[in-house]
Amino acid sequence: MALIAAALVCGAFTLFVLWPRLPSVVGLAMMAVCGAAIAAGGLLLQDDPGNGDRILAIAVLAALAPLHSRLVFGRPGPRRPRGGLLPPTAPPRTNGGNP
C-alpha cells in the first residue's frame, strides 16, 4: 500500500509542479516510472499474481501513465507561445500609403 501511495504522490508532484519545468523526455520517463510503481504496488496486494500478470500490468501502466498525462496536461516543458498574425517582435503594419 505504501508503494502505491508513494507513486501517487510522486506522480502528482511531477504533474502539478514539475510538468511545466521538465524537458519532455524526463517528464514522460518520470510518469512511466510512477505508473510502473503503481502497478507493482497493486500486484503486491494480490495473493498470488502470475508472471504474466506482473509483466503485463507493469508494462501497460508504464505505457499508459505518460500517455494519459500527455493527453490531460499537455506537452511537458516550458510553454511556447502559439503563432498569431504577428510575432511579438515584428514591427507594426502600415497601410502601404493608403488612407
For 40-93, write each residue's pLDDT tens digit: 999 999 999 999 999 999 999 999 999 999 999 988 887 766 655 555 565 666
pLDDT at 40: 95
Euclidean distance between CA atoms 29 and 54, whole angstroms: 20
Which whole number is the average pLDDT over 2-31?
93
- Chain length of the chain: 99
pTM comes to 0.76
**27/84: higher pLDDT:** 27
Close Cβ partners of 88 (under 8 Å, ≥ 6 residues apart): 81
Euclidean distance between CA atoms 57 and 37, whole angstroms: 10
